[in-house]
Amino acid sequence: IPLSSGMILLTWQKIAPTALLYQISPSLNMEILIMLAILSTVLGGWGGLNQTQMRKVLAYSSIAHMGWTVIIALINPNLMILSLMIYIMTTLTLFMTLNLSSTTKIKSISNLWNKSTPMTMIIFLTLLSLGGLPPLTGFMPKWLILQELIINNNPTMAIVMALSALLSLFFYMRIIYVSSLTMFPTNNNLKHHWFFTQTKTTNMIPTLTTISSMLLPLTPILIIMS
């Protein structure tokens, strides 16, 4: 499917089921949520390991992130909404950048160095944020969810979720490693356009990049709000 359609499927389509979970959260069964969360994080992490298409990688990433969103629905529904909002902002940033640079395969990212280094760096930064690597914004929901699980006497579940997150972080790091260290750009002509033509999309990307990578210092404020 086109990248724009994939962006809608992985962001907008999650709002309705998450809103439904938020409304029925008091009557949810914790054991079922735990089972669904573990299956989602493990399946999403395991399925994305051998993918070469960015759309497939992001699809499995979406499955893994929904595991983190679901597990906290009963304990702290507000944190579930926060997790979804950060995921949507980060995914929008990545999809807009990929769509603007017409990048659909992991191999194509290495060739993007010659076209636009800033775009390549945004892709890498957003991938690390999706993986939950501190000190980026994506680490915030995972940190808060693990903290809530421990406070509510679920340390075993917190450990399982943290370990399953390493699977997703691994294939994000693999994309960056393959694109930047093992695939040197084949075209050495540096007289390429380093920046794209300014459009509404390009104007949104810097703001979304800031949101998806630099909000971790706001964590104490969000803890008070939740």
Which residue's structure tokens are 């962006």? 7
Question: d(Cα 140, Cα 79) in Å, to the nearest integer?
Answer: 10
Tokens of 31: 């054991």
pLDDT per residue of the chain (226 residues) written in tens, 0 to 9: 888 888 898 998 899 989 998 898 888 888 888 898 889 999 988 888 888 888 899 999 999 999 999 999 888 888 899 899 999 999 999 998 888 888 888 878 877 766 677 788 888 899 999 988 888 898 999 999 999 999 988 888 889 899 888 888 888 888 888 777 765 555 544 444 445 555 556 678 888 888 888 888 877 776 766 6
105 backbone dihedrals φ, ψ, rounded to 5°: -120, 155
Q: What is the DSSP string of 51-81?
A: --BHHHHHHHHHHHHHHHHHHTTTT-HHHHH
For the whole model, what pTM was predicted? 0.86
Give the residue carrying structure tokens 């421990």.
Answer: 150
> What per-residue string of b and e applies to 196-218 under the rule 16 or more CB within 10 Å gives b?
beeeeeeeebeebbebbbebeee
Tokens of 34: 């735990």
